[in-house]
Amino acid sequence: MDSAYRRKGGDKLGFVHVATPWPTINLSDRMQAIRGGRVEAVWPVMATEV
């Protein structure tokens, strides 16, 4: 996930992911959100990878 995240534009993408609907979120991000119980769980994960 880290390499794909950096390839696609770093932290800017992190903010976009939080605002976008489910179908546009990467599979790995979706898994993180499901594990966290909510979409917002994706944001802290993205932030730590900057």
Q: What is the pLDDT of residue 50?
A: 45
For residue 4, name the pLDDT band (cuts at 50, 70, 90): low
On average, the pLDDT of the chain sits at 53
- Nearest CA to 46 among 24, 27, 6, 21? 6
0.85 cut: is pTM over it? no
Report which of residues 15 and 28 the model is more confident about.
Answer: 28
The one-letter amino acid at 48: T
CA distances from 24 to 1, 13 (A): 15, 12
Per-residue pLDDT at 30 exceeds 50 = yes
Check residues 27 and 47 and name the one with the higher pLDDT: 27
